[in-house]
Structure 1
Amino acid sequence: MHLKKLIGLFVLAASITQAEAQSSKQRKPNIIFILADDLGYGNLSSFNAKSPIETPNIDQLAKEGTKFTQFYAGNTVCAPSRAALMTGKHMGHAYIRGNANASLRPQDTTLAQHLQDNGYATGMFGKWGLGLENEPGAPHLKGFDTFYGYLLQRHAHHYFTDHLFEVKNRELSKVTIDSTKYVPDLILEHALGFIKENKNKPFFLYLSTTLPHAELKVPEHLMKKFQNLDGSSKYPPEKPFYQNKASYRTQLQPHAAFAAMMYRLDQDVASIVKQVKNLGLENDTYIMFTSDNGPHEEGGGDPAYFNSSGPLKGVKRDLYEGGIRVPLIVRAPGRVPAGKTREDAWAFWDMMPTIGQLTFTSVPTNIDGISFVNALSGKTQKQHDYLYWQFGEKGYKEALRQGNWKLIRFKDKGKPEVLELYDLNKDTGETNNIASTNYAKVQELKSLMKSAKTAAENPAFNWDEVEQ
């Protein structure tokens, strides 16, 4: 064969091989994780047809992706739920198990840190709640290149404030802001900017909005959308809420304000989706939407009026389903089936290994989570042997779900325990406690509860005395 022809064939073969290698080399996907604050399972019209509030943009997310109807928060209040999300550990092993003394330790590694180590741009905007500026759990020490928002949970009660905190170049600082500005406007602006700034490289955006957590405050133009021309609420009857020691400010029309906050949350989700589409990132991006726990009764919150728990029993601070089961929607065109509903029972601590697998990121093995990538892909998914929670405000309570069985245990110091057993397949609303007629099952699940937990390393959550 002629030498020039032979060389030409080699060059052609090499170019084809290089092209094939390039096409097979997948770009690491972007992850956008949107965490609503105190959003109930029933607050989305896509999860609850009886909701008096419509959430069309979030519902559209569900139409374009898969919704999970048996997904669970890490706990029934903010800090421990977020700790489970970030560390992959459930409440039997997590360091943070309540809202008190809620700072991660140096040895507690987060999902953001692992993604950062894998070359991801990492940005968080909204409420952190896992460490103040002088603590080892501060966001710049836990994997975030960029942050803008609240560090302290009580500070995040205020939608109008004179300062927030910011991380730039992995350094944290306090920033003064105009106290007439609505903080969700600023949070969204920074989140959209982060997406645009990092459009050419893989990124992890953690949008931890404070909506619709109390206090129930919105700008006047938003409030008017949910008032009649005479200024009365479109959601009567209204029971005014007056400022109390919990620092929530007065709201004379809490129903109208809550409806406005839900509207604003829905609009923010639309803005994120629009930014992703406009930048041509749609096929490279997973968008996940969920809530940190069940609906609140604080600051004038009225979950009964809004059917916020839907068919579930309980609210925030309960270990009944309404306190811990939350909506989850995952959208990723071509990667996650559209318009599907799944009933896999999984939880916040599964997000670390799941996102780890999606992004080719190594995560620790000594965690409680397992990857649910198969569920996201529409395939058969390995399920947990059990899911476990505990909570210690005003006594000790813990819950364990295995299959369709759920055991809840209540224990106050000096008092006998109370056990409740439910078959969630037949009784999603937990209306029929069948513990008294299923002694063997109660003892089996109670034994599993004991094995699911270790002694709390944080003295604030050591409840040994309660057991006495």
Structure 2
Amino acid sequence: MASKVAFVALFCSLASAAEKPNVVFILADDLGYGEVGCFGQKKIPTPNIDRLATEGVKLTQFYSGAPTCAPSRCVLMSGKHLGHADIRGNRQAKVSFPQFEEGQHPIKADTVLMPELFKKAGYATAAIGKWGLGPVGSTGDPNKHGFDLFFGYNCQAIAHSYFPKYLWRNAEKVEINAKPIPGHVKPVSEARMEDYLGENYAPKLMIDEAEKFIAEKKDQPFFLYLAFIEPHVAMHPPKDSVERFPKEWDQQPYLGESGYLPHPRPRAAYAAMISDLDSHVGRVMAALKKAGVDERTLIVFTSDNGTTHKNNKKSPFNIGGADVDFFNSTAGLRGFKGSVYEGGLRVPTVVRYPGKLKPGTSSDVPGYFADWFPTLCAATGTEPAAALDGENLLPILKGEASAKRQKPMVWTFAEYGGQVVVRIGDYKVLRRGLLTKKPGDWEIYDIPADRGETKDLAKEKPELIGKAVGVLKNEVADNAVFPLKIPGAND
């Protein structure tokens, strides 16, 4: 009798676990707001991402956690905005921890990340792609923060190469290229594609791993974090991907004058990277369908920050050879990666959740990366961590008429001169240059009315500056690793 009771209990437990929705969170790297079709891209086909939008909800005023990689990912994983986050810049780990040869400054051991709670709730967890929140063996090691499996790049700098010497599988280095291709070389007089193509293309290995994980874990709930590296430069996609795009696009080669690798067909190469990213999304969707779990899987697609920034005024190319003007990568937004203007922070975002969210809808309610932790916990019935900065956006995603954002959104970015932003309702209050000898003035923009941030309203609405300073005073904790003095808030 006892064994029968135990069997029934186990059966019920397994049935309950199987009913929990899976979560697949897909994070692109430096993908601009206008670089996919459903957000206005005209030259690069992205049918799979567009299909997510057709079958889900498109978020038109959604923002990353920061305007660069590591701090944005810290906000995403911790649910803490930059005023409370451990990581507020792209500092290398070896600056404070010389024992580590690679990786970024680690998050703290006691910082609770999203996968830890999913694992506690019975989910299988995996992170595949780029990490950037602490070296293997450090307090920021992904395996120490809830991930059963980590496969990919631990270090953002190594991820500049698509043909690296190795990738990590948990604590093991897996060699994939005996002759790796570096992500950086000095400028050249002639660019040849074949000079920068290696044997094993890392993105292919990572999407293969994602398909394998889905197939293996189909009978239990899983949380899969896919932090793909496209379209972050350097540009060296496979030749067949490049050749899908018109030769007449490229009348001028990129010779490396704006950093990273040269390329004879820079526009086609950049388009190929985004097209390949879209194909990864298609393969994930196909794998979910094949496993029979696509109808009970919540998928989020977004980017860690805006498109790559300007560099050399003598070059028509942005950093790494990207021609963002040609592709209208920011869709008319001001600024690029590294900037707290819309082009650096606003990112293309789509959520697909069959049976729960109305297909083909959109929302212009503002949200940002800090919101994902409470939102995904609410969607899956997972107990969230205490004192999260974000809000549960599930009612907004469901289109509930009364749903609206309650909290201001906060960014305090201790790099690119030192920048702060507070979004209060429709208004964005920002200040730049806080780490320079001549800090800029406060700026205010009415974002719905002025998405290009062309009209500064600071003189017309000075009361909003006082409100923003008050928010920052309450919402920004000191961080000795990433210090930033904010006039009126923590000076």
Q: Distance in 2 between matches of 1:51 and 1:454?
A: 43
Which residue type is aligned with residue 207 of structure 2? L
| 2:140 corresponding residue in structure 1 | 137
Q: Distance in 1 between matches of 2:376 and 2:463?
A: 38
| 2:117 corresponding residue in structure 1 | 114
Which residue type is aligned with residue 215 of structure 1? A
Give the match's secondary structure for 2:122. Answer: coil
Contact kept in structure 2, 1:345 and 1:384, CA below 8 Å: no
Q: Distance in 2 between matches of 1:174 and 1:382?
A: 46
Q: How far 1:433 moved relative to its partner?
A: 0.7
Which residue type is aligned with residue 20 of structure 2? K
Give the match's secondary structure for 2:34. Answer: helix
| 1:400 corresponding residue in structure 2 | 422
Does residue 343 of structure 1 match 2:334? no
Contact kept in structure 1, 2:17 and 2:220, CA below 8 Å: no
Q: How far 1:465 moved relative to its partner?
A: 9.6
Give the match's secondary structure for 1:341. Answer: strand
Q: Distance in 2 between matches of 1:299 and 1:21?
A: 51
| 1:41 corresponding residue in structure 2 | 33
Does residue 424 of structure 1 match 2:447? yes
| 2:20 corresponding residue in structure 1 | 28
Q: How far 1:239 moved relative to its partner?
A: 4.4
Q: How far 1:25 moved relative to its partner?
A: 8.9
Does residue 242 of structure 1 match 2:256? yes
Q: How far 1:287 moved relative to its partner?
A: 1.0
Contact kept in structure 1, 2:391 and 2:407, CA below 8 Å: no
Comparing 201-210 with 280-289, greater Cα deviation is found at 280-289
Q: Distance in 1 between matches of 2:238 and 2:55?
A: 31
Give the match's secondary structure for 1:42. Answer: coil
Give the match's secondary structure for 2:61. Answer: strand
Which residue type is aligned with residue 478 of structure 2? A
Number of residues paired by the alignment? 436
Q: Distance in 2 between matches of 1:104 and 1:68?
A: 29
Give the match's secondary structure for 2:299. Answer: strand
Does residue 386 of structure 1 match 2:386? no
Q: Distance in 2 between matches of 1:409 and 1:122?
A: 39
Equivalent runs, 1:69-218 vs 2, <5 Å: 69-101=60-92, 102-167=105-170, 172-178=171-177, 179=180, 180-218=199-237
**Gap change, CA 1:263 and 1:147, over 3 Å in 2:** same
| 1:277 corresponding residue in structure 2 | 289
Contact kept in structure 2, 1:75 and 1:293, CA below 8 Å: yes
**Gap change, CA 1:23 and 1:148, over 3 Å in 2:** closer
Q: How far 1:22 moved relative to its partner?
A: 11
Q: Distance in 2 between matches of 1:355 and 1:26?
A: 17
Alignment RMSD, CA only?
2.2
| 2:316 corresponding residue in structure 1 | none
1:330-359 deviation line (CA, Å, top 9, x unaligned): 112211110001112111111111111122
Give the match's secondary structure for 2:451. Answer: coil
Which residue type is aligned with residue 445 of structure 2? Y
Q: How far 1:382 moved relative to its partner?
A: 3.9
Give the match's secondary structure for 1:149. Answer: strand
1:123-163 deviation line (CA, Å, top 9, x unaligned): 11100010111311011111111111000000001000121
Q: Distance in 1 between matches of 2:270 and 2:439?
A: 39
Q: How far 1:454 moved relative to its partner?
A: 1.3
1:91-112 deviation line (CA, Å, top 9, x unaligned): 0111100111431110111101
Contact kept in structure 1, 2:79 and 2:371, CA below 8 Å: yes
Contact kept in structure 2, 1:241 and 1:254, CA below 8 Å: no
Q: How far 1:443 moved relative to its partner?
A: 2.4
Contact kept in structure 1, 2:242 and 2:269, CA below 8 Å: yes
| TM-score normalized with structure 2 length | 0.85
Give the match's secondary structure for 1:206. Answer: strand
| Gapped regions of structure 2 (runs ≥ 5) | 1-10, 93-104, 181-198, 310-318
1:146-194 deviation line (CA, Å, top 9, x unaligned): 1110000000010001211002xxxx21111135111110000000000
**Gap change, CA 1:442 and 1:463, over 3 Å in 2:** closer
1:61-88 deviation line (CA, Å, top 9, x unaligned): 1001111111110000000000000000
Does residue 438 of structure 1 match 2:461? yes
Q: How far 1:381 moved relative to its partner?
A: 2.2
Q: Distance in 1 between matches of 2:297 and 2:233?
A: 31
Give the match's secondary structure for 1:460. Answer: coil
- Rg larger for: 1
Contact kept in structure 1, 2:250 and 2:266, CA below 8 Å: no
Contact kept in structure 2, 1:223 and 1:256, CA below 8 Å: yes
| 1:409 corresponding residue in structure 2 | 431
**Gap change, CA 1:400 and 1:227, over 3 Å in 2:** same
| 2:477 corresponding residue in structure 1 | 454
**Gap change, CA 1:210 and 1:24, over 3 Å in 2:** closer
Which residue type is aligned with residue 423 of structure 1? D
Contact kept in structure 2, 1:89 and 1:367, CA below 8 Å: yes
**Gap change, CA 1:415 and 1:177, over 3 Å in 2:** same
Q: Distance in 2 between matches of 1:416 and 1:317?
A: 17
1:184-233 deviation line (CA, Å, top 9, x unaligned): 100000000000000000001101000110001111111211253xxxxx
Which residue type is aligned with residue 268 of structure 1? H
Contact kept in structure 2, 1:51 and 1:308, CA below 8 Å: no
Which residue type is aligned with residue 62 of structure 1? A
Comparing 345-354 with 410-419, greater Cα deviation is found at 410-419
1:277-326 deviation line (CA, Å, top 9, x unaligned): 12211221011100000001321122222111113111100100111111
Give the match's secondary structure for 1:105. Answer: coil
Equivalent runs, 1:57-68 vs 2, <5 Å: 57-68=48-59
Give the match's secondary structure for 2:431. Answer: strand
Which residue type is aligned with residue 255 of structure 2? F
Does residue 375 of structure 1 match 2:396? yes
**Gap change, CA 1:249 and 1:414, over 3 Å in 2:** closer
| 1:53 corresponding residue in structure 2 | 44
Give the match's secondary structure for 1:40. Answer: coil
Q: How far 1:419 moved relative to its partner?
A: 1.1
Give the match's secondary structure for 1:299. Answer: helix
